[in-house]
Amino acid sequence: PVQNMTSKFPSGPLAKAAQVLARDGPNALTPPKATPEIVKFLKQMIGGFSILLWIGAVFSWISFGIQLAQGAESPFDNLYLGVVLALVVILTGIFAYYQEAKSTNIMASFSKMIPQQALVIRDGEKKELPADQLVVGDIVEIKGGDRIPADIRLIFAQGCKVDNSSLTGESEPQSRSCDFTHENPLETKNIAFYSTTCVEGTATGIVINTGDRTIIGRIASLTSGVGNEKTPIAIEIEHFVYLVAGVAISIGVLFFIISVSMRYKILDSIIFLIGIIVANVPEGLLATVTVSLSLTAKRMAKKNCLVKNLEAVETLGSTSVICSDKTGTLTQNRMTVAHLWFDNQIYSADTSEDQTTQPFDQSSPSWTALSKIVTLCNRAEFRPGQENLPIMKRVVVGDASETALLKFAEVILGDVMNIRAQNKKVAEIPFNSTNKFQLSIHKTDDPNDERFLLVMKGAPERILERCSTIMINGKEEPLDSEKAEAFQTAYMELGGMGERVLGFCHLYLPENEFPDTYSFDTDSMNFPTSNLCFVGLLSMIDPPRSTVPDAVSKCRSAGIKVIMVTGDHPITAKAIAKSVGIISATSETVEDIAKRLNIPVEQVNWREATAAVVNGMELKDMSSQQLDEILCNHSEIVFARTSPQQKLIIVEGCQRQGAVVAVTGDGVNDSPALKKADIGIAMGIAGSDAAKNAADMVLLDDNFASIVTGVEEGRLIFDNLKKTIAYTLTKNIAELCPFLIYIIASIPLPIGTITILFIDLGTDIIPSVALAYEKAESDIMNRRPRNKRKDRLVNEQLAIYSYLQIGIMQSVGAFVTYFTVYAEQGFLPSTLLGVRVNWENNAINDFEDSYGQEWYQRTYLQWTGYTAFFVSITIQQVADLIIRKTRRNSIFQQGNKVIWVGIFSQIGIALILTYGLGHVTALNFTPLRFQYWFVAVPFAILIWVYDEVRKLFIRRYPGSK
Amino acid sequence: MARDKEKRSCGQVWAEWKAFVWDPRTRQLLGRTASSWGLILLFYLVFYGFLAGLFALTMWVMLQSVDPHVPKYQDRLLTPGMMIRPYAEGLDVTFNVSQRHTWMPYVHALHQFLEPYNDSLQAARNAACTPGRYHEQPDDGVPNVPKRACRFNRSSLGPCAGLGPPHSETYGYGTGQPCVLVKINRVINYFPGANKSINVVCAAKDEEDAALLGPLHLFPPNGSIDLMYFPYYGKRVHVNYTQPVVAVQFANATAGVQHHVECRLRALGMRGEGAEPQRDRFAGRVEFRLRLHRE
Tell me: the pLDDT tens digits for A714-763?
Answer: 899 999 999 999 999 999 999 999 988 998 899 999 998 889 989 988 89
Cβ B262 vs Cβ B285: under 8 Å:
yes
Contact by Cβ (8 Å): B158, B219: yes
Chain A to chain B, count of Cβ pairs less than 8 Å apart? 120
User: CA A342, CA A501: separation in Å to the nearest integer?
Assistant: 13
pLDDT of residue A778: 76
CB contact under 8 Å between B75 and A825, yes or no, is: yes
Contacts of A290 (CB under 8 A, 6+ apart): A95, A96, A99, A310
CA distance A662 to A554: 15
Residues in chain B: 295
Q: How far apart are CA A828 and CA B235, in angstroms?
A: 14
Within 13 A of A696's CA, how many CA atoms are on the CB side?
Answer: 27
Cβ distance A620 to A602 under 8 Å?
Answer: no
Contact (Cβ atoms closer than 8 angstroms) between residue A649 and residue A200: no
Which amino acid does the sequence have at A361? D
Indicate whether A936 pLDDT > 90. yes
Residues of chain A contacting residue B238, judged by C-beta atoms under 8 Å apart: 852
Residue in A closest to B281 by C-alpha? A856
The H or E element containing residue B219 is strand B216-219
Residues of B in contact with A854 (CB under 8 A): 80-81, 83, 185-187
Substitution target in A795, A838, A846 with the highest count of B β-carbons within 10 Å is A846
Q: Is the ipTM of this complex over 0.85?
A: yes
Q: Which of A848, A852, A921 is closest, CB to CB, to B276?
A: A921
Nearest Cα to Cα of residue A888 among A801, A950, A798, A796:
A950
Tens of pLDDT along A502-534? 999 999 888 888 888 888 888 888 888 888 999
Distance CA A676, CA A649 (A): 10
Distance from CA of A815 to the nearest CA of B (A): 9
Q: What is the pTM of this model?
A: 0.81
Task: Assign A148 to helix, strand or coil.
Answer: coil
Dist. CA A227–CA A648, nearest whole Å:
12
Q: What is the DSSP letter of A921?
A: G
Asked if B1's CB is within 8 angstroms of A828's CB, the reply is: no
Q: Across the interface, which of B47, B71, B286 has its CB nearest the CB of A825?
A: B71
Confidence of residue A2 (pLDDT cuts 50, 70, 90): very low
Cis-peptide, bond into residue A644, ω within 30° of zero: no
Provide the percentage of residues in chain A whose pLDDT is more than 90.
Answer: 21
User: Choosing among B66, B69, B77, B82, which should be mutated to test the A contact, i.e. which has the most A CBs within 10 A?
Assistant: B77
DSSP A617-661: HHHHT--HHHHHHHHHH-SEEEEES--HHHHHHHHHHHHHTT--E
Per-residue pLDDT at A860:
86
Count of C-beta atoms within a 10 Å radius of residue A654: 26
- Residues contacting residue A47 through CB under 8 Å, at least 6 positions apart: none
Residue B259: strand, helix, or coil? strand
Element (H, E) at A340: strand A336-342
Residues 44-83 (B) with a CB less than 8 A from some CB of A: 44, 47-48, 51, 54-55, 58-59, 62-63, 66, 69-77, 80-83
- A853 contacts B234? CB cut-off 8 A: yes
User: Residue B51 is nearest to which of A788, A809, A855, comparing CB atoms?
Assistant: A809
Q: DSSP for A112-156?
A: --PPPEEEEEETTEEEEEEGGG--TT-EEEEETTPBP-SEEEEEE
Average pLDDT taken over every residue of chain B: 86
- What pLDDT shows up at residue A961? 46
Q: CA-CA distance, A678 to A786, in Å (whole number)?
A: 14
**Interatomic CA distance for residues A168 and A162, integer angstroms:** 12
pLDDT at site A133: 84
Beta-strand relationship, A467-472 and A475-478: antiparallel
Per-residue model confidence (pLDDT) at position B284? 85
- Find the helix packing angle between A285-302 and A76-111, rounded to 10°: 20
d(CA B200, CA B264): 6
The listed range with the strongest mean pLDDT (A32-46, A78-92, A324-338, A936-950) is A936-950
Q: For residue A112, is pLDDT > 60?
A: no
Q: Which residues contact A216 (CB under 8 A, 6 or more apart)?
A: A29, A167, A193, A194, A195, A668, A690
pLDDT at A113: 47
Give residue-wise pLDDT tens across range A161-174.
888 777 776 667 78
Decide: A233 and A718 in contact? Cβ < 8 Å.
Answer: yes
- Residue A257 CB neighbour total at 10 angstroms: 11
Residues 6 or more apart whose CB falls under 8 angstroms from that of A434 comprise: none
**Nearest in space to A872 (alpha carbons), one of A950, A819, A804:** A819
What local confidence, expressed as pLDDT, does residue A38 receive? Answer: 84
Do residues A729 and A803 lie in contact, with contact meaning Cβ atoms separated by under 8 Å?
yes
Identify the three-state secondary structure at position A216: helix
Tell whether A958 is within 8 A of chain B (Cβ).
Answer: no
What is the pLDDT at residue A75? 67
Of B158, B293, B289, B288, which is closest to residue B223 (Cα–Cα)? B158
